């Protein structure tokens, strides 16, 4: 396909300004919100699903401990996480993406941020979070899991907690990773230790809170020193 230089002149500079605006607005809002935990998972999970209920309980406990809950702002698992935070009286962020179907903002978000571009939204999931929880989900959830584990593996971000909840859902993928990636030496054996798999949301909460306490001690020492 031939590139139309006139199209660049008319459209791309303005697109750059739109991208900048998304980053500036979202960074300003999230920086004021406080330390956060991002919860990923399917938009198609119903309110009667056990993972919906587990997510709501997990977010409730995290919010009770003054952690901001960040989700994609839509239905399903995202709604459950925002709902749990709202029930605890906590701060609840929804990074809503404009899509032709499925993605509609849920009513439990009290800090809504709208995005046109996926990549700027994905940066915001990571930039202000100190931990990440992955419930069962589709392509988007898997995309975020592999992106986050790559960022940790390559030390582009610190070794934040990456917690997968739902052995029944995740164990097939992890078995494949063990056989096809680790045994073929496409990854280092220790890379399989960069995340935690559990069925217990309370364990996820403990892991994240323990990490936060470990972060707080050096910061306090630096201030006192």
Confidence of residue 6 (pLDDT cuts 50, 70, 90): low
For residue 171, pLDDT over 50 is answered with yes
So what's the pLDDT on residue 8?
45
Look up tokens 């046109």; give the residue.
116
Does 14 map to a domain?
no
* SS3 assignment, position 200: coil
We report the CATH number of the domain holding residue 132 as: 3.40.50.450
Does 218 map to a domain?
no
Secondary element (H or E) of residue 132 = strand 129-134
Domain range holding 79?
A: 19-213
User: For residues 59 and 114, what is the distance between their CA atoms, to the nearest angstrom?
Assistant: 21
Greater model confidence, 6 or 49: 49
Does 161 map to a domain?
yes
What's the total number of domains in the chain?
Answer: 1
User: For residues 122 and 208, what is the distance between their CA atoms, to the nearest angstrom?
Assistant: 20
pTM here is 0.90
Does 11 map to a domain?
no
Q: What is the mean pLDDT of the chain?
A: 91
pLDDT digits (tens, 9 = 90+) for 15-52: 888 899 999 999 999 999 999 999 999 999 999 999 99
Does 7 map to a domain?
no
User: For residues 159 and 181, what is the distance between their CA atoms, to the nearest angstrom?
Assistant: 20
């Amino acid at each position: 396909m031939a590139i139309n230089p006139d199209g660049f002149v008319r459209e791309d500079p303005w697109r750059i300004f739109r991208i900048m605006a998304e980053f500036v607005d979202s960074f300003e809002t999230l920086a004021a919100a406080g330390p956060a935990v991002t919860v990923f998972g399917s938009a198609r999970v119903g309110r009667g699903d056990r993972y919906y209920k587990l997510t709501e309980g997990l977010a409730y406990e995290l919010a009770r401990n003054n952690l901001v809950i960040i989700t994609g702002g839509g239905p399903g698992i995202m709604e459950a996480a925002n709902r749990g935070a709202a029930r605890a009286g906590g701060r609840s962020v929804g990074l809503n993406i404009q899509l032709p179907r499925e993605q509609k903002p849920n009513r439990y978000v009290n800090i809504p941020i709208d995005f046109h571009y996926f990549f700027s939204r994905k940066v915001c999931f990571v930039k202000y979070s100190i931990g990440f929880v992955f419930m069962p989900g589709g392509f988007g959830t898997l995309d975020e899991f592999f992106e986050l584990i790559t960022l940790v593996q390559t030390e582009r971000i610190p070794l934040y907690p990456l917690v997968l909840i739902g052995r029944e859902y995740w164990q097939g993928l992890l078995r494949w990773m063990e056989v096809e990636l680790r045994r073929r030496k496409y990854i280092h054996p220790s890379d399989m230790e960069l995340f935690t798999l559990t069925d217990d949301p309370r364990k996820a909460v403990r892991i994240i809170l323990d990490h936060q306490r470990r972060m707080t001690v050096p910061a306090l020492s630096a201030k006192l020193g």
